Amino acid sequence: MTLLANVKRDYYDVLGVSRDASAEQIKKAYRRSAHKYHPDRNREDADAESKFKEAAEAYEVLSEPDKRTRYDQFGHEGLTGVGVHDYAHMNVGDIFSMFTDIFGGGARSRGGADLRTEVSISLAQAATGIERSIEFERRDFCDDCGGSGAAPGSELRRCETCGGYKQVEQSSGFGALFGRVITTCPTCRGRGNLVVTPCTACRGSGRRVKGRIVTVQVPAGIHDGQAIRIRGEGEPDSEGLHRGDLHCYVRVEPHPFLERHEDDLVCRMPVSFTQAALGAKVDVPTLSGKAELSIPRGTQPGQMFRLRGLGMPDLRYGRRGDEIVQIVVEIPKKLNKNQTDLLREFAKTEDKRVLPESKGFFEKLMKYLGGQGP
């Protein structure tokens, strides 16, 4: 049956869905209709192309909440002036390209290229956060030609391959709807026009490398290797509608005394064996300078002490970690005569059998040597 040119059917009837159909049900119904009536797929029905366009028009209205509401309230008359496409005068390829998201492929990129750069900061700056100016280069539109690639004052010629639509429909050879994909026109590279007289400044490319400086706020608590995304500071797409992002990777320089473990900081603190044995007060390096640490008598090598709140802030919540001081007892390699004599006198007073660690060790050793060990 031939569709009447001046009579529009109810859009819900066109897609075969109820008036309370969900957005997903409407989308699936349009997919079925597009499959069934696409001219390349249905060559037997003389009205296939008209039905295909009718389904596309119905889907455009019912898939957009504002248009659907107006249509539900006022019918076709309520759509006057709201920008519904005239599908009757569009070719099938143009309609197909408009709904490439429905068919799962071939849509043009909606953003330009992302860029990557780095910034180096100290551990102390990572703890407090810092504002830094970042200088980088990106390919941007040529100032002379405005990105067209054509010499100022010259004209552009419409691309004959895509007819100025910037995209072409290619078939994979199956001759069916899903055997076709929409791709960027290889002749004009998605511009829709061809340059007759190239711009001398950019050699017809429409792009030139430009330097740019942006300010980035590095948050407190950031870790080495994490990136900060600066939206819209990448390269523009072919149409200049969308830009990519700039990803700034943070490199935290090593600290001479402190090593980061999550939000805690570890400091290996060397002390003499007399300080460890007798106890002492020592100055420990911190992010903000130094802090005094009291070492109790009998401190053992490797023993750890915790300085609360002197670590790194949590990136998300701001809570600060601790600084952990690990004691490293240094044994002198050379002693003068006086030191040697004093230590010999000390050794005479030392009862190795009652020292807690050595006592346990030697007891186990005697059992082992006596054949009771493994």
Domains defined along the chain, listed by start? 11-103 (1.10.287.110), 258-330 (2.60.260.20), 337-372 (no CATH)
Strand partners, 70: none
Residue from 287, 312, 135 nearest 219 by CA: 312
pLDDT band at 356 (very low <50, low <70, confident <90, very high): low
**Is the predicted pLDDT of residue 8 greater than 70, yes or no?**
yes
CA 286 vs CA 121, 123, 305, 324: distances in Å? 17, 11, 14, 10
pLDDT band at 353 (very low <50, low <70, confident <90, very high): low
Q: Which of 59-73, 178-192, 214-228, 273-287 has the lowest mean pLDDT?
A: 178-192
Strand partners, 211: 137
Average pLDDT (149-153) is 85
pLDDT of 162 reads 82
Rounded to whole angstroms, how far apart are CA atoms 344 and 349? 9
pLDDT of 308 reads 95
Beta carbons of 274 and 293 less than 8 angstroms apart? no
Q: Is 124 helix (H, G, I), strand (E, B) or coil?
A: helix
Torsion sign, CA atoms 48, 72, 103, 187 = positive
Q: What is the pLDDT of residues 65-112, one digit of tens each?
A: 888 888 888 888 877 766 676 676 666 655 665 565 555 444 344 568
pLDDT of 180 reads 57
Beta carbons of 134 and 266 less than 8 angstroms apart? no
Q: Which of 75-89, 126-140, 192-206, 270-284 has the lowest mean pLDDT?
A: 75-89
- 18-27, 46-55, 321-330 — most confident range: 321-330
Computed over every residue of the chain, the mean pLDDT equals 82
Q: What is the pLDDT of residues 9-20, one digit of tens each?
A: 899 999 999 999
How many whole angstroms from its chain centre is CA 358? 56
Rounded to whole angstroms, how far apart are CA atoms 294 and 273? 15
pLDDT of 339 reads 86
Q: Both tokens of residue 252?
A: 């935290």
Q: Which of 5-9, 128-132, 244-248 has the lowest mean pLDDT?
A: 5-9
Residue from 91, 3, 93 nearest 47 by CA: 3
pLDDT of 311 reads 95
pLDDT of 367 reads 72
pLDDT of 157 reads 87
pLDDT of 2 reads 40
Helical ranges in the chain per DSSP H:
11-15, 23-37, 48-62, 65-74, 92-98, 100-103, 123-128, 273-278, 337-349, 356-367
Beta carbons of 123 and 205 less than 8 angstroms apart? no
Q: Which of 107-121, 193-207, 237-251, 277-291 has the lowest mean pLDDT?
A: 107-121
Furthest CA-CA distance within the chain: 119
Q: What is the pLDDT of residues 331-345, one digit of tens each?
A: 888 889 898 888 888
Beta carbons of 228 and 248 less than 8 angstroms apart? yes
**Is the predicted pLDDT of residue 217 greater than 60, yes or no?**
yes
159 compared with 321, residue with greater pLDDT: 321
**Is the predicted pLDDT of residue 206 greater than 70, yes or no?**
yes
Average pLDDT (345-360) is 66
Q: What is the pLDDT of residues 239-284, one digit of tens each?
A: 666 888 999 999 999 999 999 999 999 999 999 888 998 999 999 9
